[in-house]
C-alpha cells in the first residue's frame, strides 16, 4: 500500500498543475470577461486602460503571466484582489474557518443520520420504521436545500416570532452558544440530502450483506444481534458508504455557497462566486487550485481507507 500511496502522491502535482493551467488559460480566453472593462468607462483613454492593464499584470503574454503566478504561489504570495487591491491570503484565512465549520457539521449530520437510519431500515425491513425512513429519504432527495434553508428563516418567524441569527461569523471558541445557534440548524438541513442518499445506500448494501453465508454462520454460532450487525454486517458494507461520504465532502466543499448566501455568511463559497462574477483572477485561480488539492487528497484518502476497512483489498 505504501508504494501505491507514493505513486498516487507523485501524480498529484501533475493533476493540480493541469487543472491550474486549464483554469488560468480559460479565464484569459478572448470571449471571457476582461477585468479591465470593469474599471473603465466611456471617458477612459487608451493610455489609461493600458495603465490599468499593466497595473493588474495583464499586459504580459499569458504564458509569462502563468509562470509569474506559479512562482509567486511557490513563495506563498497569492497576489492581490483586483476589486479592492487587498492581499488574497488574509481574505482566505478569514473565510476558511466558516467553510470548515459548515463542512464538519454538515458531513457529521449527514453521516450519523444516514448510517443510523440505514441500519435501522435494513434490520427492520418492511416495518413501519422502514417505510417511515424511506419516506424521509425520498423527501430529503426531492426537496432543494435552498428551499429548506429559506423555510428555516420564514417558519420560525411566522410560528414563534423568532428570527434565527443571520450574518457574521463568531468563532466557536469565542462564543460557543452564538456560534452553534448560527451554524447548527442550517447545517443540519444542509446535510439532509446527503443523509437521505447515504441512508438508501446503507440500507441496500446491508440487505445484500445480510444475505451472505458468513452472516448466517455468525448467527448460527449464537453471536448477539448487535455484534452481527455492527462487526460482520456494517463493516463489510462500509466501502460504498465511505465512497459516498467522501463524494459528499468534496461536493460540500463549495456547496455551502447556498447557505452562505441565504444566511449572509462570508465564506469561501461566496468569495469564489463574487470573484468569478467580477473576473477577479487571483482569487479564482487560487481557489480552483486549492479545491483541486483538496479533491485529489480526499480521493487518495478514500482509496487508502479501503485497505483498512477490508483486509482483502490489496494495492500493488
- Grid coordinates 444566511 are at which residue? 263
Q: What is the pLDDT of residues 126-161, one digit of tens each?
A: 889 889 988 988 888 888 888 888 888 888 888 888
Work out the average pLDDT over 232-236.
77
Range name among 117-126, 183-192, 230-239, 306-315 with the lowest pLDDT average: 306-315
Work out the average pLDDT over 184-205.
88
Cell of 293: 488539492
Q: By percentage, how much of the chain surpasses pLDDT 90?
A: 3
- Ranges of each domain in the chain: 97-277
Q: How far is CA 120 from the centre of its chain?
A: 27
Q: What is the pLDDT of residue 263?
A: 83
Work out the average pLDDT over 233-251.
82
Residue 101 has pLDDT above 80, yes or no: yes
Between CA 274 and CA 284 the distance in angstroms is 9
Asked if residue 291 lies in contact with residue 87, where contact means CB atoms within 8 angstroms, the answer is no
What predicted TM-score, i.e. pTM, was given to this entire model? Answer: 0.83
Superfamily of 97-277 according to CATH = MetI-like (1.10.3720.10)
- Grid coordinates 471617458 are at which residue? 43
Q: What is the pLDDT of residue 191?
A: 86
Between CA 302 and CA 290 the distance in angstroms is 18
The residue count for the chain? 316
Work out the average pLDDT over 64-77.
87
Between CA 166 and CA 287 the distance in angstroms is 25
Between CA 253 and CA 154 the distance in angstroms is 26
Instruction: Please count the other Cβ atoms lying within 10 Å of the Cβ belonging to residue 224.
Output: 11
> pLDDT category, 316, cuts 50, 70, 90?
low
Instruction: Please count the other Cβ atoms lying within 10 Å of the Cβ belonging to residue 55.
Output: 13
Residue 121 has pLDDT above 80, yes or no: yes
> pLDDT category, 259, cuts 50, 70, 90?
confident
Work out the average pLDDT over 176-201.
87
Between CA 269 and CA 258 the distance in angstroms is 8
Between CA 208 and CA 248 the distance in angstroms is 23
Mean pLDDT for the chain overall: 84
> Is the model more confident about 99 or about 235?
99
Q: What is the pLDDT of residue 315?
A: 67
* CA nearest to 104, candidates 181, 19, 184: 184
Q: What is the pLDDT of residue 117?
A: 92
Those residues whose C-beta lies under 8 Å from the C-beta of residue 27, and which sit 6 or more positions away, are 279, 281, 284, 285
Those residues whose C-beta lies under 8 Å from the C-beta of residue 279, and which sit 6 or more positions away, are 27, 32, 33, 34, 35, 38, 82
> Is the model more confident about 40 or about 18?
18
Q: What is the pLDDT of residue 244?
A: 86
CA 136-161-187 angle, to 5 degrees, is 40
Asked if residue 273 lies in contact with residue 257, where contact means CB atoms within 8 angstroms, the answer is yes
If phi > 0 it is left, if psi is from -120 to 50 it is alpha, else beta; for residue 45 that is beta
Q: What is the pLDDT of residue 75?
A: 87
Q: What is the pLDDT of residue 108?
A: 92
Report which listed range, 73-87, 154-168, 210-224, 227-241, is most confident: 73-87
Q: What is the pLDDT of residue 255?
A: 61
Amino acid at each position: 500500500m505504501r508504494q501505491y500511496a507514493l505513486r498516487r502522491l507523485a501524480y498529484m502535482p501533475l493533476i493540480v498543475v493541469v487543472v491550474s493551467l486549464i483554469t488560468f488559460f480559460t479565464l484569459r480566453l478572448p470571449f471571457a470577461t476582461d477585468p479591465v472593462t470593469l474599471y473603465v468607462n466611456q471617458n477612459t483613454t487608451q493610455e489609461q486602460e493600458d495603465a490599468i492593464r499593466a497595473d493588474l499584470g495583464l499586459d504580459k503574454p499569458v504564458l509569462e503571466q502563468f509562470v509569474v503566478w506559479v512562482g509567486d504561489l511557490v513563495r506563498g504570495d497569492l497576489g492581490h484582489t483586483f476589486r479592492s487591491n487587498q492581499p488574497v491570503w488574509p481574505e482566505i484565512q478569514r473565510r476558511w474557518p466558516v467553510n470548515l465549520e459548515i463542512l464538519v457539521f454538515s458531513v457529521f449530520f449527514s453521516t450519523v443520520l444516514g448510517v443510523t437510519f440505514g441500519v435501522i431500515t435494513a434490520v427492520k425491513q418492511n416495518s413501519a420504521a422502514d417505510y417511515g425512513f424511506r419516506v424521509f429519504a425520498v423527501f430529503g432527495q426531492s426537496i432543494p436545500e435552498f428551499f429548506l434553508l429559506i423555510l428555516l428563516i420564514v417558519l420560525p418567524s411566522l410560528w414563534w416570532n423568532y428570527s434565527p441569527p443571520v450574518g457574521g461569523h463568531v468563532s466557536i471558541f469565542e462564543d460557543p452558544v452564538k456560534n452553534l445557534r448560527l451554524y447548527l440548524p442550517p447545517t443540519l438541513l444542509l446535510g439532509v440530502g446527503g443523509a437521505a442518499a447515504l441512508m438508501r445506500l446503507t440500507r441496500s448494501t446491508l440487505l445484500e450483506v445480510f444475505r451472505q453465508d458468513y452472516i448466517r454462520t455468525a448467527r448460527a454460532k449464537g453471536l448477539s444481534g448487535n455484534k452481527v450487525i455492527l462487526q460482520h454486517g456494517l463493516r463489510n458494507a462500509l466501502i460504498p458508504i465511505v465512497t459516498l461520504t467522501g463524494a459528499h465532502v468534496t461536493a460540500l466543499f463549495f456547496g455551502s455557497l447556498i447557505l452562505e448566501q441565504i444566511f449572509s455568511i462570508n465564506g469561501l463559497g461566496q468569495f469564489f462566486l463574487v470573484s468569478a462574477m467580477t473576473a477577479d483572477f487571483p482569487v479564482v485561480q487560487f481557489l480552483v487550485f486549492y479545491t483541486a488539492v483538496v479533491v485529489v487528497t480526499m480521493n487518495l484518502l478514500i482509496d487508502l481507507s479501503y485497505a483498512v476497512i477490508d483486509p482483502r483489498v490489496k494495492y500493488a
